[in-house]
Amino acid sequence: MTTLTSYLNKMNDLVSKLMYAAMDDIALTWNGAARNPCLWQSYTNLCKKKADQDTVNNALAISVPVKHFLVFMFKKLIEEINITPLENMDSPDVIGDKASIENDECYTKFMFQLAAKYKGLFGPTLSGATDDTKWFQNQIVGGLPGFATKPVVVMVISFEFEVFLKAIAWLLAPYVWYQQVLVKITDVMFIATLAQQPMNQNMIDIMMNCVPEKAPAKPRVAKKKADATAATSANADATAANAAAEQPIAEQPIAEPNAEPIKEDAGLINEDDEELAGLLEDV
């Protein structure tokens, strides 16, 4: 069974690669100072074999909530299509319309509409970019067992989902391109982008609830250091108590009833010490 962590990591890899492809397209028509390919990651570099890739700085990072949002939308696609009666030759528009009949808040229709809206604006690099691993395509095929006899519509669904991810990359890439620093794609940035398309607030709220709450960090205690400090303090107290007990009782100063409190740091008797208090009572 595929774990959530696998979904998050695969989504991060694919969307990051598509964003770098969109940024390479921006560079083709960019009149300003170009990003130094020796310093910053690029789609061209990512397409090389792992061993041949240059060591450069990442230009972007996708936050954990955004990864959860994208994985949530992918799983909603599978869930919605599974209860939608489709024909093998249905087009993306027909698939979206049929899915919206069976699902009140239809993420499939939203994704397919977003793909159709922006795919004509992609540059050559983003248009040609693809998931070489076909990981999500395989997840779609495996997640739609009822469509085993309808391979064409399954391939259409897989293709349109990838175009949707390209549309997301195309919309977010400019935020990264104009910065010469590492840019984090935050949940606020992502939600604002979807809301402008528009995605209705109820769909946004449902999606936001998919992110697990972060467990509070447990306080870290330097146990060895604390134990050593406690042991040192205990030894010091025992040494002081033994030294005080060996003094002649007559020489031990006793506080007067109305005298100021005796300061321990002045090297005088601590009247709260049970052993010394017993000695005083014997006197």
Mean pLDDT of the chain: 83
pLDDT given for residue 173 in this prediction:
94
Beta bridge partners of 246: none
Task: For residues 256-269, give the mean pLDDT.
Answer: 41
Q: Provide the pLDDT for residue 38.
A: 79
Query: Comparing 189 with 276, which gets the higher pLDDT?
Result: 189
173 and 263: one domain? no
pTM, rounded to two decimals: 0.75
Give the 3-state secondary structure of residue 49: coil
Do 90 and 188 have their domain in common?
yes
CA-wise closest residue to 19 among 116, 123, 113:
123
User: Do the domain assignments include residue 217?
Assistant: no
- Residue 62 neighbours by CB under 8 Å, 6+ apart: 12, 15, 16, 184, 185
Euclidean distance between CA atoms 79 and 163, whole angstroms: 19
Express each pLDDT in 194-240 by its tens digit: 999 989 999 999 999 998 877 555 666 555 555 555 555 556 565 55
Residues 193, 251 share a domain: no
pLDDT at 241: 54
Task: Judge if 120 and 238 occupy the same domain.
Answer: no
Do 159 and 126 lie in one domain? The reply is yes
Residue 57 lies in a domain: yes
Which pLDDT value is given to residue 222?
57
- Asked which of 157, 181, 208 is the last residue of a domain, the reply is 208
Mean pLDDT, residues 115-125: 97
Same domain (yes/no): 174, 262: no
Kindly state whether residues 189 and 266 are assigned to the same domain. Answer: no
The residue ranking higher by pLDDT, 217 or 264, is: 217
pLDDT at 266 over 70: no
User: Are 67 and 100 in the same domain?
Assistant: yes
60-84 b/e (C-beta count within 10 Å ≥ 16 → b): bebbebbbbbbbbbbbbbbebbeeb
Q: CB-hemisphere CA count at 13 Å for 203? A: 21
Given this model, what pLDDT does residue 228 score? 55
Instruction: Single out the residue in 152, 181, 208 at which a domain terminates.
Output: 208
Lowest-confidence segment of 151-155, 184-188, 264-268 by average pLDDT? 264-268
Q: How far is CA 266 from CA 53, 93, 272, 280, in A?
A: 68, 87, 15, 19
Higher local confidence (pLDDT), 75 or 212 = 75
* Cβ atoms of residues 64 and 48 within 8 Å: no
The number of domains in the chain is 2
Answer yes or no: is pLDDT of 265 > 50.
Answer: no
Mean pLDDT of 169-197: 92
In a domain, 219, yes or no: no
- Alpha carbons 50 and 136: distance in angstroms, whole number: 21
Q: Is 238 found in the same domain as 189? A: no
Instruction: Give CA separation, 2 vs 7, 10, 68, 158, 178, in Å.
Output: 7, 11, 15, 18, 37
> Phi and psi (nearest 5°) for 220?
-90, 125
Question: Rounded mean pLDDT of 8-18?
Answer: 96
Question: Which domain range does residue 268 map to?
Answer: 225-282
pLDDT tens digits for range 130-160: 998 999 999 999 999 999 999 999 999 999 9
In a domain, 251, yes or no: yes
pLDDT higher at 125 or 270: 125
Residues 161 and 236 in one domain: no
- Residues 130, 265, single domain; the answer is no
Q: ω into residue 248 within 30 of 0, thus cis?
A: no
Task: Judge if 182 and 249 occupy the same domain.
Answer: no
**Is 52 strand, coil or helix?**
helix
Q: Determine the pLDDT at residue 279.
A: 40
